Structure 1
């Protein structure tokens, strides 16, 4: 039963960003008159915590990534190989898209649409576009591409006055609702991609032979 004339302080509450994002405010009290329960219950919950360890983050990452990929394809962006909304960004703040480059500007097109399609527009921060040889879900792989295939002066664009929200911890209270975005083109530069240095790697056959011989002593 809600008691309309009685209130008590409530909050703050933890959020998916890993921070307490709400203030303490007065809310109505309610009176519990009965509790129904089962013996030995299985209690499910989704307690907030610092990403990537918050319960439920992984499932939301799958959903967000799938939605963004579908919207990229609906917008006519060709050869989108993979999309992942990273756990460390709480499924919104960091999105990685891999493409098979087809024409000049393809990477920027994919980045801009991933940033502003319906699934990616709210409270985003970074979108990184990589070539199709990069695993979008592997942050080491992604950051290697950023470090070796992007040049800050020509590969990063900052877009201002984008759609944010009250849970954005990096925006002061008086500016809540708007933020900026960075899109990072971490693909081989299209105009000289055929001249880009070859990747130093080991053939899959040799990797398999080493793993079979040495087992858990080395990692593939």
Structure 2
């Protein structure tokens, strides 16, 4: 029903003589069978998006088993897959795209004002770190944004850090975000640590036996709204920049 709604037309199906379920008639590959909730077995090890293996000795947890009774496939099926390893792979790009969208949606649904852009960079697995650009409108606004981000459906599970920057810094411009951290962030004033927060069992930064609970950090790289005197930013003269660029090739820099 969901796919049909997205496509704007029904999905052709047939009834399985094994499970009795409706199956998509034009699927590339279908594994037809059943899952016994009481049949639990250890899985792995296999590579994860963290760049480390999971399911190694000492960190196994039982999973339900799929009992395959029949495999349906096209004559020349196409099997879609993604690669997993250290960032950046296609898996990290997919997670970044997906979780960036869901975090932004979550913040809008929470009624947080002033959001300009959101980004969960693939360098952080597309999950562990979030960056939010905001137009600050009142004292404490940036902290409101960060706490809201950590409290969302997307942010409360697995996202360890939120960096908040001013609206002149696009959340996906990592170079400018690092600049903001260098010149607008004060470790004492601008850092908050949240203890005993939900974590993910895939986080290799935590001991194997303690991965349900971790901590979160807020790094506020905005210029405080309440400051009467704010630092004055440098801007190059546009005409000078234009003249230099026009002679770029003369300097052998094109």
TM-score > 0.5 by shorter chain:
yes
User: What is the match of residue 185 of structure 1?
Assistant: 220
Counterparts in 2 of 1:199 and 1:38: CA distance versus 1, 3 Å: farther
Pick the structure with more strand per residue.
Answer: 2
RMSD: 3.1
> Number of matched residues?
211
In structure 2, C-alpha distance between the alignment counterparts of 1:161 and 1:211, rounded to whole Å: 53
Counterparts in 2 of 1:36 and 1:118: CA distance versus 1, 3 Å: closer
User: What is the match of residue 22 of structure 1?
Assistant: 55
TM-score, normalising length from structure 1? 0.82
Pick the structure with more helix per residue.
Answer: 1
Residues 37-89 of structure 1 deviation map (CA, whole Å, 9 limit, x = unaligned): 766x76532121101x2223223212211111111122121110000001111
In structure 2, C-alpha distance between the alignment counterparts of 1:185 and 1:163, rounded to whole Å: 21
User: What is the match of residue 199 of structure 1?
Assistant: 233
In structure 1, C-alpha distance between the alignment counterparts of 2:203 and 2:149, rounded to whole Å: 19
User: What is the match of residue 5 of structure 1?
Assistant: none
1:44 paired with 2:80, answer yes
Counterparts in 2 of 1:22 and 1:133: CA distance versus 1, 3 Å: same
Gaps of 5+ in 1: 2-8
TM-score, normalising length from structure 2? 0.72
Give the number of the structure with larger relative contact order, counting CA–CA contacts within 8 Å between residues 6 or more apart: 1
Counterparts in 2 of 1:155 and 1:211: CA distance versus 1, 3 Å: same
- Range that drifts further, 122-131 or 68-77: 68-77
Counterparts in 2 of 1:198 and 1:42: CA distance versus 1, 3 Å: farther
Gaps of 5+ in 2: 1-32, 34-41
Shift of 1:210: 3.9
Residues 100-124 of structure 1 deviation map (CA, whole Å, 9 limit, x = unaligned): 0100010000001111200111111
